Amino acid sequence: MKAGAVELGEVSSKVVAQRRGMNRGASIVDFILRLVAFAGTLGSAIAMGTTDETLPFFTQFIRFKAEYNDLPTFTFFVVANSVVSVYLILSLLLSIYHIVRTGSRSSRVVLIFFDTAMLALVTAGASAASAIVYLAHKGNVRANWFAICQQFNSFCERISGSLIGSFIAMVVIILLILLSAVSISRR
Amino acid sequence: MKAGAVELGEVSSKVVAQRRGMNRGASIVDFILRLVAFAGTLGSAIAMGTTDETLPFFTQFIRFKAEYNDLPTFTFFVVANSVVSVYLILSLLLSIYHIVRTGSRSSRVVLIFFDTAMLALVTAGASAASAIVYLAHKGNVRANWFAICQQFNSFCERISGSLIGSFIAMVVIILLILLSAVSISRR
């Protein structure tokens, strides 16, 4: 009977150790994914923030120049991506804490909440900018909005490309939230 | 010693009962919030989907008419809100299941994942539509896009109003995710 109890104790401590190991693994994946998301948002912010194009012809009064901050939506995109990338760097500290202290749950709940808010922010920035990029490419006949990409070619390529990092970050943050939820449920 | 063990057992069963009660309460709040978010997304989809305006003057060949599907972004907005409202109705079943079975965790993790995906979808729809609504109101001098709201007044009021439900749903879904995370951590 006593031997049975000791065996049971051994088995359960093995299970606990295994779970701890899995949670540590999950925390390391969390850390790496945060770096990926950070690279995505920072890349997007820089790519969009440094975009401008000056056309090679100009009249006496007007120089044809396109900058990202001609359109307020792109300014929002840069701000949103900057905020999220700063948050992601700060959240790395908590991620390291989770690698060390695998059992903590309340800090993971806090992380889920902020991750969710940041997901909303980066999604808002990316999709608002996409809507405008689509308009710049295609224009809209009914609203009489012209496709400015016909003039500003490299400007358009640059703003289209800068969306990619933001969308990658979006997918990665969804994975991060799922990972935190699984870790909490399996402490 | 035995009496102490029984007391301890009573105390811990009380704690368990209390936690169950709290989780049940959280599940009921979850159910109500889902209904609120459903009302928001459905309202947004209907308000946007039924928007059209025909101006009282017309030439021999052209009738000035504005419909939501003149702009692809608004079509996306309607589709995204419809998908999310269908999902919210279906998730009510799982919410009822959580009211009955307060202890289940894996189903809550599944719910967090889908909630997060739906949050991304509704945010994308709402913010893309907002970007276009902003453009319709203000126009953009640099891109030579005119503010169409000067002609289509009631159309613009309608599309602006239809965003509200979507943004309410966004906030409510963030709360839902937080609620699920807290419930999992406190089983």
User: What does the pLDDT profile of chain B (187 residues) look like in tens digits?
Assistant: 455 555 666 767 777 777 778 888 889 999 999 999 999 999 999 999 998 887 776 666 666 678 888 889 999 999 999 999 999 999 999 999 999 988 788 899 999 999 999 999 999 999 999 999 999 999 888 888 888 888 888 888 989 999 999 999 999 999 999 999 998 888 6
Q: What is the pLDDT of residue B91?
A: 95
Q: What is the pLDDT of residue A62?
A: 61
The maximal CA–CA distance of chain A, rounded, in angstroms, is 99
- Which of the residues B135, B159, B173 would you substitute to probe the A interface, choosing the one with the greatest number of A C-beta atoms within 10 Å? B135
Stated as kind and residue range, the H or E segment containing A148 is none
CATH number among 1.25.10, 3.30.2320, 1.10.3470, 1.20.120, domain A20-185: 1.20.120
- DSSP for residue B71: S
CA B115 to chain centre: 9
Residues of chain A with pLDDT below 50 are: none
- In chain A, which residues have their Cβ closer than 8 Å to the Cβ of B109? 178, 181-182, 185
Instruction: Select the residue of B71, B119, B128 nearest A120 (Cβ to Cβ).
Output: B119
> Residue A51 — left, alpha, or beta (φ > 0 → left; ψ -120 to 50 → alpha)?
beta
Establish if B142 touches chain A: CB-CB under 8 angstroms: yes
Stated pTM of the model: 0.88
Helix axes A2-49, A106-138, angle to 10 degrees: 30
Beta strand pairing call for B52-58 and A52-58? unpaired
CA B165 – CA B41 distance, rounded (Å): 6
Q: What is the pLDDT of residue A187?
A: 64
Chain A CA closest to residue B105: A185
Stated as kind and residue range, the H or E segment containing A64 is strand A63-67
Q: How many residues does chain A have?
A: 187
Chain A CA closest to residue B148: A143
Q: What is the pLDDT of residue B58?
A: 63
Q: What is the pLDDT of residue A60?
A: 61
The CATH code of the domain at B22-185 is 1.20.120
Q: What is the pLDDT of residue A146?
A: 86
* Cα–Cα nearest to A177, from B84, B80, B115: B115
Dihedral, A136, A139, A144, A145 alpha carbons, nearest 10? 0
Q: Are B99 and B27 in contact (CB under 8 A)?
A: yes
- Residue partners of A8: CB distance under 8 A and separation at least 6: none
Establish if A62 touches chain B: CB-CB under 8 angstroms: no
